[in-house]
Amino acid sequence: MDQLTAQDPRRIGPFEVLGRLGAGGMGLVYLARSASGRRVAIKTVRGELAEDELFRVRFAREIAAAKTVGGFYTAAVVDADADARVPWLATAYVPAPSLEDLVGECGPLPVDAVRWLIAGIAEALQSIHAAGLVHRDLKPSNVLVVEDGPRVIDFGIAAGVSHTRLTMTNVAVGTPAYMSPEQAKDSRSVTGASDVFSLGSLLVFCATGHAPYRGGNPVETVFKLLREQPDLSGLPVELVDLVRACMRPAPEHRPTPEQIQTELAPHLFSRDDAGESEGDWLPPSALELIERRRGRRVPGARAAAAAPVAAPAAAPVVPPVPSAPPVVPAPYLSPAPAAAAAPATGPVGGAHAGPAAPEGHWGPARPPAQPEPVDPRTGALAAQGTPAQGASAVPGGSAVPASAAQVSAAGTAVAGGEVATAKLGAARRHRRDPAQEVQLSGASVRIGPGPQAHGVEPAKATGPTPAETDWVRRAGALSAAAPAPVPPAPPVEQPGQPRWRPWRFRMSNDVWGTPLVADGTLFISSFEVHALDIASGRRRYKTRDVAWAVAVDAGRLHAADGPHLYTVDVADGTERWRTSLDGWVYSLDAADGVLCCGLRGGGVQVRSTANGAELWRAEDAQQDYENPQSGPALMGGSVFYYGGGRLRCVDARGGLPRWTFPVGEDVPSRPVLRGSLVYVTAGTRVYALDAATGAQRWRFDAPVVLFTPPSLDDSATPAVYVADYLGTLYALDGASGQVRWQARTASRQGAEPVVLAGRTALIASGDTLYAFDTADGVERWRYAARGEIVGAPAAAAGLVHLGSRDHSLHTVDLATGRLRWELGTKGELTGSPVTVGGRVFVSSKDRCVYALDAAYGTAVPDSR
């Protein structure tokens, strides 16, 4: 919980506000208490929604229905006021982790726990639908988990938004990774079947640790949702049929929440120990997290049960014969797959990310602990093998007991300072019949830095253990098959200058996008824009409003929270001006004193960066897919934007049209200006246009759709590099459009452009980064990560930095492709890494921003 600021209210309705819980797309969320001391969570509504009378009418109607929702698995609506100056809704406060936090910290859940949670959520949906509501935003962060089951929150809100004017201009209400296809197309006409699709997506997340649809940005995620099958990698075979039934494209063919409960009931109530305790469904690590969120230590009874005891000889266990399943309507049943997907091969060694530190600092460094065997069913330490060490090394050679803050990804310690061997009793107590155990292909305890396949023996690190950190894996800690590291040359330091050291900064909310570095400051979006000093990692300031689009130019930071624009000084965050627009801003671009805004529904507005005054506007920029990559672009004193199948060039300040060129209705890329030519890809074509007149100089036609915008090298006669979705890389002559060479990689779904570094062209396909010689297209090397590569790689000073869905940042040598060092985090990386001045910056879904030495990671040269 964050402290209140001067702008936060001290009372909302009859409730006293205690603190700020967070912020979201709807508005701010506060913790408050009633006159009798009962705590509630109050969600307030954004200003632009409050000004919409249609929203207020819908909001009042939906809240009246939400108050009638009963059921054990929902958080009750306590009070609301749709007529207040700032409308608000108060629900019972549940001090518990969300499903997102639970899986993020404890890893994918066992099959029995997943079934238990999904049955509870299905019962909650049954209550919500019975009141005539559709949730519309069922996602992991809207499900709280306590010992006796899940609690679904935020129902009755998204429905009010979905009928406002904001949704009339291609604004989908919901979270793309978990919404249904029909909701992505029109969120105003969905039924309860849409929530069932989201429930299937939740099931995938619970059992695998990842969403069924993952894209680099919301638009890409929606694209995959509408055109591709869900990603079920790592999903246990026992749950495949239920997921496929819930996520059927046709809403009428999905099961109802009642049918889902009926299907799961035999699995939940046929166990011998099903009636002992509700918490027994969850692994010990999840129960400990729930207790910590309540502000309590693990109860004495559970701690005593977790103490190491001599296990009695196990008698042969005969699997119970399940009762006959109830009859389910035909549309719900589907044939079982022929075989389960093979578990993915994970890493064979390396340290996991350490605990989150206070803002901008790490605690004492310690060497990484050797991974311990983990029970794949419970996530606890396996009974066999040596106990985990109960002490950790600190500078000075002393030893201290492992605390809760030192819990490793393999579960090497327990809360309250107890040694890790206390896990053994809990592991035995929670162990099921081996015939019922599930071998997950994802991480069994904690997500990141990369999944580890069950049964793979960790390789022993060779050489001395690096003492500077516990969350960077050096090449020496990899398997023997990995190439030897290439020692970097130490950087030259100027005498008298303070030594820069790596840092990380932890946010209180999720971070997203790619870090932006300008004027010695790093900008990162975490609802608000946070400005961090790149030298120390300390926060200089943050904006007071949410920012969905950001641009920096000439010492000014420009941001939009949707329908509002505001500008602050880069140096100290002083606000310079603020204005309101009559639409939702989805892209910003700033250059030469001009700020260009792309608005949902085909609008373009150009304003002065000095005072926000409008210079001109256009309404002919309609596209099928509106995203920052295809939004209006400022280049060479002109604004380039798409609309009606044409590329338009307009004078940036005067708004006078210069030329238009037909490019078709295919999703175009951001144009690239080089000299007197403008290069653009659209569909299967690459165009080179005269920047002054728009006349076509040449055109290249590819066999399939080209996803990437053009990339140009710095030679006198530049080459143009583009790639299609099948993974074919083309090098075109910049003057004639003729193919100089082409090369093949694996198929790719992202739209990241080719990255050029000297005589090397870099392109990622799936989990592999390919390097080609720009002269002849010969492959120089390829590097395989343990997960799909996120964003575009960053290359500088002979090094290449790339992020992966294995929750790691990999740094390899540009000449050889050999691994230099690797950063492991506790979440997927967001956006692309950024390199500036010998440093690399990257952000992660563990709510941290990392600043590292590009050559040494978290180390410093004199510590080697």
Closest by CA position to 394, among listed 386, 381, 382, 403? 403
Token pair, residue 585, equals 């801003």
Give the other-Cβ count within 10 Å of 535's Cβ: 14
Averaged in consecutive runs of 10 residues, what is the pLDDT profile of the chain (864 residues)? 77 89 76 86 80 74 76 81 86 88 92 93 90 86 89 66 37 72 79 93 94 83 87 93 93 92 80 48 88 62 38 37 38 36 35 36 35 40 35 34 34 33 35 32 30 34 34 41 43 55 88 88 91 92 89 92 91 92 89 92 92 93 78 94 91 94 83 93 93 95 89 88 92 94 87 92 93 95 92 94 93 95 90 93 92 87 50
CA 267/CA 167 separation, integer angstroms: 41
Alpha helices in 37-189 (DSSP H): 47-50, 53-66, 99-106, 111-130, 158-162, 181-185
Give the other-Cβ count within 10 Å of 631's Cβ: 23
Give the pLDDT score at 187: 67
Closest by CA position to 553, among listed 628, 615, 632, 634? 634
What the chain holds in terms of domains, given with CATH numbers, is 1-93 (3.30.200.20), 95-298 (1.10.510.10)
CB 90 within 8 A of CB 40: yes
Q: Pairing between strand 696-701 and 711-712? A: unpaired
Buried b (16+ CB within 10 A) or exposed e, 139-177: bbbbbbbbbebbbbbbbbbbbbbbbbebbeebbbbbbbb
CA 360/CA 341 separation, integer angstroms: 42
Q: Which residues contact 167 (CB under 8 A, 6 or more apart)?
A: 161, 173, 187, 188
CB 864 within 8 A of CB 833: no
Q: Can 624 be counted among the known catalytic residues? A: no
CA 277/CA 810 separation, integer angstroms: 44
Given 8, 79, 83, 137, the catalytic residue: 137
Q: In what order do the strands lie in the sheet with 549-553?
A: 549-553, 556-560, 564-569, 575-580
Helices and strands per DSSP (H, E), number in the chain: 13, 47
Q: Cis before residue 449, ω within 30 degrees of 0?
A: yes
Token pair, residue 697, equals 């100089």
| DSSP letter, residue 475 | G
Torsion, Cα 350 355 360 361, to 10 degrees, reads -80
Token pair, residue 379, equals 């996530």
Say whether 643 sits in a helix, a strand or coil: strand
Give the pLDDT score at 499: 74
Cβ neighbourhood burial of 227 (10 Å; 0-12, 13-18, 19+): exposed
Which residue's structure tokens are 């890493």? 347
Give the pLDDT score at 137: 85
CA 423/CA 372 separation, integer angstroms: 12
Say whether 734 sits in a helix, a strand or coil: coil
CB 733 within 8 A of CB 744: no
Which residue's structure tokens are 């109960």? 390
Q: CA torsion sign, 267 to 269 to 270 to 274?
A: positive
Token pair, residue 134, equals 């559709």
Token pair, residue 324, equals 């006959």
